[in-house]
Amino acid sequence: MSFRSVIAVLAVLAVLGLLVVGLVSKGSSGVGPGDPVPKAPLPQLEGTGSQSLADYRGRWVLVNIWASWCIPCRAEAPDLERFQRRYGGPKFTVLGIDSRDLSGDGQAFVDKYGLSYPQLRDGNGDAAHEYGTTGVPENYLVDPSGTVRLHAPGPVGDEYLSNEVAPLLPEVKQ
């Protein structure tokens, strides 16, 4: 094989490689029941530290992906807070992820609705992309081993939390 042929083959392989990398990086299909939850660390909404879902291993976690500009998020926030006050503790917590939002607006939202559960920040939307969300809000119930057990695209309310989430938390305080 001549030198020119080698160069041509390498050029074609490079283009194909770039296409494959592009498709793989764009084609995140997200997570659903049975999948491990993404564990990339995220900064806290308030303060300077960061947290990952790995820090919550051993606890049930209801991951709520939201944004202050999202109108349905305003409707579900009080219900999530009530659920947290009832079931929150060493074995369960709601965990908010404020996505594609201004941190000041996100903090104002937390203050307005008196949300007591921990909040992380996903300013560029990478975490929401990794979860495979199609909008906000979306909710994922994660079991103590870090596996997604429920996925609720769209807002959740008292009825969903009581009928779908609470029955999966047998050991959590009632």
Partner 1 sequence: MSGRFFAVAAVAALALALLAPAAAAEQPASLTEIEKQVMCPVCGTLLQLAESPQAQRERVFINRLIDEGKSEAQVKDALVAEYGDEVLALPPRSGFSLSAYVVPIVAFLIALAALAVGVMRWRRAGGGPDDPRPTAGPSDADSERLDADLARYDL
Interface positions with partner 1 (CB under 8 A): 67-69, 71, 100-105, 123-126
Q: Nearer Cβ to partner 1, position 61 or 110? A: 110
Residue nearer to partner 1 on the CB measure, 51 or 103: 103
CA distances, 131 to each of 37, 74, 144, 165 (Å): 8, 21, 18, 19
Q: C-beta of 123: minimal distance to partner 1 in Å?
A: 5
Minimum CB separation from partner 1 for residue 34, in Å? 29
Which CB, 108 or 168, lies closer to partner 1? 108
**Separation between Cα atoms, residue 153 and residue 142, nearest integer Å:** 15
96 vs 67: CA distance, rounded Å: 10
CB of 42 to partner 1, least distance (A): 12
Two structure tokens written together for 60:
């049930």
Distance of CA 130 to the CA centre of its chain: 8
